[in-house]
Structures are given as C-alpha cells and as structure tokens.
Amino acid sequence: MNFTETDEQLALRAAVAELGAKYGYSYFLKQARSGGRLTELWQEAARLGFIGVNLPEEYGGGGAGMYELAIVLEELAAAGCGLLMMVVSPAICGTIIARFGTPEQKQHWLPKLASGSSIMAFGITEPDAGSNSHKLTTVATRDGDSWVLNGRKIYISGVDEAEAVLIVGRTADAKTGKLRPALFAVPTDTPGFSFRPLEMDIVMPEKQYLLFLDDVKLPASALIGDEGAALLQLFAGLNPERIMASAMATGSARYALDKAISYARERTVWSVPIGAHQGLAHPLAQVKIELELARLMMQKAATLQDRSADVGADQAAGEAANMAKYAAAEASVRAVDQAVQSMGGNGLTKEYGVASLLALSRTTRIAPVSREMILNFVAQNSLGLPKSY
Ligand SMILES: Cc1cc2nc3c(=O)[nH]c(=O)nc-3n(C[C@H](O)[C@H](O)[C@H](O)COP(=O)(O)OP(=O)(O)OC[C@H]3O[C@@H](n4cnc5c(N)ncnc54)[C@H](O)[C@@H]3O)c2cc1C
C-alpha cells in the first residue's frame, strides 16, 4: 500500500492545475450563462494529452489509468472548470471500447476519443425506467446484417457536442424472445436519431437531452464487442463513471472550500477574522476531513480499477467506486453549502460565485447513480441485506 503519488502523477497534477488556473471558474460560468461550451479548454487539455491519458498508447492515448484520468478531472474541477464530458467520453466509452471493442471498432473510435477530437456521449437512462435499468425498453432488432434501434432516452449529457452516443439497449434472443442488454455506438447524424434539449436549472455548460430513436438503422459494426458480453461491458464502464464523478465532485468541493477559507481568513466583523469563530472553523474543518476521506476512497477505487483491468477482479473496484461516489457527492454538497454560509450575503452574490455551484453539487447526489441506489448496492452487496425491490 502506498499513499504517495509517483513523480509522474504529481507532475500531471501540477500541469493540469496550471491549465485549470488559466481558465478557472470565470470561464466556466461565462460559458454556462451564455449557452456556450468549454471547447477551448477541452481542446487545449486534449492537445496536452490530458483527455485520453487513460487510453492505450497504441491508439494515441497516454497509456496510464483511471487514477491519472481522475487526477485530470479533479484538478480541473478544483480550478472551477471541470469537464463533465470526461466522465463520459474517455472514461465510460473509451474504457468499454478499449476492453471489449473489435479491432475495427478500436481502430475507428479510440484514436479520436484519445486525441479528444471526437466526443462520445453515453445513454442509458430512460424516462420510464429511471434507476431501474431492468425496465429499459430501447430495443434493437436484426434486419439482415443490420440492426434497427427504437426507444427513448432522457438526461443524456453533451449530445450536441458528440459525434456518437453509446446507447444501452436490448436485443431480442431469436429463440426465446427474451431481451438481453447490448451496447451500440450510434452516430448522432444517423437518420431516425433526433434529440431535444431539456431545460435544466443547473449552472453548467454541458446540456442534457431527450433522445428519440425511431427506426435507427445501424450496421452490424455498431454493436460494441460481443452480443453476449453487454453486462460485463456495462460494469466495465460504470466503475470508471463513478470514479470520475467522484473526481469531479471532490474537485468542486476543493474549489468551494478554498473560496470559503480565503474569505473566512480575511473578513472581520468583530475583532478577529470570522474564520477564528469555531462556529465557522469547525464545519470547514469537517468539510476538509470528509473531502479527504472521499478522495482516499476515490484513489482506492481508481487503483483497484486499474488493477482489475489486468486480472478481471471488478467487484472490489465496484464496491469502492460506489462508496467513493457516495462520499464525494456528500462532501461536495456540504462544501458548497458551507462555503455559501461562510460568506454570508456574499455567498449568494454573482460576484463571489459560490451560489451558482449549489445545483451542480446537488447533481452529484443524483447522477450518474443516486445516493439511494448506492446505499441499496452497499446494503445488498457489502452487508448481505435483502432487497426491497
Ligand atoms: C445533470 C445530469 C446529467 C445526466 N447525464 C446522463 C447521461 O449522460 N447519460 C445517462 O444515461 N443518464 C444521465 N443522467 C441521468 C441520471 O443517471 C439519472 O437521473 C439517475 O440515474 C436517477 O434516475 P432518475 O432521474 O430517473 O430518478 P428515479 O429513478 O426516478 O429516482 C427518483 C428518486 O427515487 C429514488 N429511488 C429510485 N429507486 C429507488 C429504490 N429502489 N430505493 C430507494 N430509492 C429509490 C432515487 O434515488 C431518487 O432519489 C443525468 C442526470 C442529470 C441530472
């Protein structure tokens, strides 16, 4: 067990922090409020090799792991400019394709995902299924050598920026008629594929979409990997998703905490700075402790994930990734709430820029998997308790 990062990891952290400082929260906010995107930051991060740091070197990636990708997102979020699509494109989609794609699929998708020149969104959530992925009704039927996909998806992030969406659907078993999960790479310009923005009340540049798949005809090569391996593929993508959501949440928590402490050190309304009052100092110290605990679990999850890529032991990584995501979301919600509180009225002004993080920090409790579904997972898998649903 080693609790110190390598020289390479520390250098990566420092380099990403430098890039983050160049853009910062003012850039993020400006793009979010004007309906813009984080394109310049994405492109610069990609040029520096940060976006595909986890993807295989033979496809132009950095050849490192989820640990390093999480460093990138955590440092950008800590500078106030986290890139949500990193959770999706290199982490979920890149991991799944690198592990399960056919040689042609790897050759087609990985170089552009690694270079950041192309973004792939991820669509699992459906309006009527919600957290219950057993109720997914997006179905692919065979039509000769092709597939025809029909269904609806909701809350899918970044579809406007994406070349394709990795869609979680189901295929019907020809003999039994039973539906089995299957993953399809669906280019966003495929006829029959359309999307409409959802009006969200989150201050964030990346937008969420409703997807409509009406008789979307896809070549056989759109089905990722082996038809029978979809569940394994999904799990391979979901751990990175949770680790990266933790990185975004812990980074944002660091950003909010930094704002609060620099304010609390300066602002004086009695004889000492407000940070000297235990009523403010203790909750901030508590946030710091909870944040560091969350980071530790995220780092454990990423380490296990990077090892499991070799030995196929995803289960321990899954437990840690779920726990990390839970802890990171809680730390982020508390950090932002306490930052607002510590700054009094200024905590709610546009100028001080922390109130705008409130909905964003709440998002991490809901997406990509809700707090309650993580508690269900831990209750059932770690504690062996029975299921209520
Ligand atoms: C900003 C944002 C971006 C997103 N991006 C994507 C994306 O890119 N791709 C994608 O596929 N999805 C995306 N999502 C969807 C997200 O994954 C879902 O919102 C989330 O999984 C919860 O599903 P739901 O909203 O349908 O809630 P529901 O499933 O309807 O749940 C509502 C509430 O009931 C609780 N609940 C449900 N079942 C149980 C149970 N058995 N026990 C206890 N409590 C339960 C939930 O925890 C929640 O609190 C995004 C969502 C948001 C908000």
Q: What is the pLDDT of residue 234?
A: 87
The segments of the chain whose pLDDT lies below 70 read 174-175, 177, 309-313
Tell me the three state secondary structure of residue 38: coil
Q: What is the pLDDT of residue 169?
A: 94
**d(Cα 371, Cα 232) in Å, to the nearest integer?**
23
Place of tokens 């950090």: 335
Task: Report the atom number in ligand 1 closest to the C-alpha of 131.
Answer: 29
Q: Is 275 in the pocket of ligand 1 (CB under 6 A)?
A: no
Q: Is 376 in the pocket of ligand 1 (CB under 6 A)?
A: yes
Q: What is the pLDDT of residue 310?
A: 59
Would you state the structure tokens that stand for residue 213, as one six-digit string? 């798949």
Q: What is the pLDDT of residue 313?
A: 59
Which of 148, 164, 153 shows the shortest CA–CA distance to 101?
Answer: 164
Alpha helix positions (H), 129-210: none
Q: What angle do CA 169, 134, 221 make, to 5 degrees?
A: 20
Q: Is 369 in the pocket of ligand 1 (CB under 6 A)?
A: yes
Q: Where are the domains of the chain?
A: 7-119, 122-225, 230-382
Q: What are phi and psi of 148, to 5 degrees?
A: -125, 120
C-alpha to C-alpha distances, 309 to 298, 313, 315, nearest whole angstrom: 17, 8, 11
Class of domain 230-382: mainly alpha
Q: What is the pLDDT of residue 360?
A: 97
Q: Is 367 in the pocket of ligand 1 (CB under 6 A)?
A: yes
Q: What's the 96 CA to ligand 1 centre distance in angstroms?
A: 22
Half-sphere exposure of 182 (CA within 13 A, CB side): 28
> Which of 156, 366, 387 has the most ligand 1 atoms within 8 A of CB, as the residue to mutate?
366
Q: What's the 329 CA to ligand 1 centre distance in angstroms?
A: 14
Q: What is the pLDDT of residue 312?
A: 53
Q: What is the pLDDT of residue 140?
A: 93
Which residues are CB-contacts of 42 (< 8 A; sequence separation ≥ 6)? 51, 83, 85, 116, 119
- Give me the DSSP letters along 192-258: TEEEEE----S--SS-EEEEEEEEEEE-GGGB-S-GGGHHHHHHHHHHHHHHHHHHHHHHHHHHHHH
Helix (H) / strand (E) element for 383: namely none
Q: What is the pLDDT of residue 226?
A: 83
In CATH, the number for domain 7-119 is 1.10.540.10
Peptide bond into 111 cis (omega under 30): no
Q: What is the pLDDT of residue 309?
A: 64
Q: What are phi and psi of 19, to 5 degrees?
A: -65, -45
Question: Could you tell me whether strands 208-218 and 193-197 are parallel, antiparallel, or unpaired per DSSP bridges?
Answer: antiparallel
Which of 281, 234, 15 shows the shortest CA–CA distance to 133?
Answer: 234
Q: What's the 367 CA to ligand 1 centre distance in angstroms?
A: 6
Longest dimension (CA), the chain: 80
**d(Cα 162, Cα 85) in Å, to the nearest integer?**
9
Residue 182's identity, in one-letter code, is: A
**d(Cα 185, Cα 116) in Å, to the nearest integer?**
17
Name the closest-CA residue to atom 45, ligand 1: 372
Task: Report the atom number in ligand 1 closest to the C-alpha of 373.
Answer: 47
Which of 300, 309, 366, 305 shows the shortest CA–CA distance to 333?
Answer: 366
**d(Cα 12, Cα 32) in Å, to the nearest integer?**
27
pTM summary value = 0.97
> Which of 96, 370, 388, 389 has the most ligand 1 atoms within 8 A of CB, as the residue to mutate?
370
Q: What is the pLDDT of residue 179?
A: 76
Q: What's the 210 CA to ligand 1 centre distance in angstroms?
A: 14
Which CATH superfamily includes the segment(s) 122-225? Butyryl-CoA Dehydrogenase, subunit A, domain 2 (2.40.110.10)
Q: What is the pLDDT of residue 178?
A: 74
Q: Quick check: 93 and 156 in contact, CB under 8 A? A: no
